Amino acid sequence: MTDRYSRQILFPGIGEKGQEKLGNSFAVIVGCGALGTIIATSLVRAGVGKMRIIDRDFIEYHNLQRQVLFDEDDIRNELPKAIAAERHLRKVNSTVEIEGIVADVNFTNIERLVAGADIILDGLDNFETRFLINDVSLKQNIPWVYGGAIASSGMVKVIIPHVTACFRCLIDEVPLPGSVQTCDTDGVISPAPFIIGSLQAA
């Protein structure tokens, strides 16, 4: 298996020890849209040991413009995003334990869904769930990576509990409806989430 990761093991920032650590890590991705699919494919190809992908939605044709793990067959088969992602990613790297969960992440289940994770990655498009991730991150001491992409721009922030500023430190309450840009109002070009999702995975 060393040959599969030989090129990234040569990278001084990873090396053999880093690859071993990556292989023993558990990542949870909340949201499997444009950001989530980029993050998931990057980490599975990099050899993360275990990945849980959580999303409540089914694939639609307008998703195919930017969500790289899905195709038209998935839509015809009426597959949920989490299940389609799991199936595609198992073909990419059979050594990674991949679990797709079709669920709406909320205050009743988030602690259970992220329990034991080494990192949480944000593939979301709403602030409410990000606040939930932030709170469980602080409670369970799990680092998380925020990401957002709209139109032709985006942003990333790594949040390390009790070390860096948290999400609530930056945004103290959920913005009012219509007060912020969304993909539904301002659109999005595929390079924006590709770049942001890649930075989150890195």
Catalytic (active-site) positions:
183
Q: Is the pLDDT at 180 greater than 90, yes or no?
A: no
* Overall average pLDDT of the 55-82 stretch: 97
* Residue 134: closest CA among 110, 167, 156: 167
pLDDT at residue 1 greater than cutoff 80: no
SS3 74: helix
Q: Which of 115, 100, 85 lies closest to 53, judged by CA?
A: 100
Report the pLDDT value the prediction gives residue 106, as an integer from 0 to 100: 96
Strands (E), 59-166: 97-102, 119-122, 144-150, 153-159
pLDDT score for 16: 96
Mean of the per-residue pLDDT values for the chain? 95
Single pTM value for the model:
0.95
106 C-beta neighbours (distance < 10 Å), count: 12
Q: What is the mean pLDDT of residues 45-56?
A: 98
* Stretch 190-194: mean pLDDT: 96
Query: Cα(184)–Cα(161) distance, rounded to whole angstroms?
Result: 32
23 Cβ contact partners less than 8 Å away, ≥ 6 residues apart: 47, 48, 49
Domain spans of the chain, in order of start: 22-201
Could you report the per-residue pLDDT of 71-115, keeping only the tens digit for each?
A: 999 999 999 999 999 999 999 999 999 999 999 999 999 999 999
The structure tokens listed for 182 are 């969304």
Task: Name, in order, each residue with C-beta under 8 angstroms of 32's C-beta and a sequence gap of 6 or more.
Answer: 40, 53, 54, 55, 57, 67, 69, 81, 82, 85, 100, 123
In the numeric block, which tokens belong to residue 76? 């015809």
pLDDT band for 186, please (50, 70, 90 cuts): confident
Q: Where does the pLDDT of residue 66 fall: very low under 50, low under 70, confident under 90, or very high at 90 and above?
A: very high
Among residues 34, 54, 37, which one has the least CA distance to residue 129? 54
Length of the chain: 202
Mean pLDDT in residue range 132-147: 97
pLDDT on residue 179: 63
Name the CATH superfamily, with its identifier, for domain 22-201: NAD(P)-binding Rossmann-like Domain (3.40.50.720)
pLDDT computed for residue 49 by the predictor: 98
Average pLDDT over every residue of 5-16? 96
Q: Beta strand pairing status for 97-102 and 119-122? A: unpaired
Angle at Cα 143 formed by Cα 138 and Cα 145, nearest 5°? 115
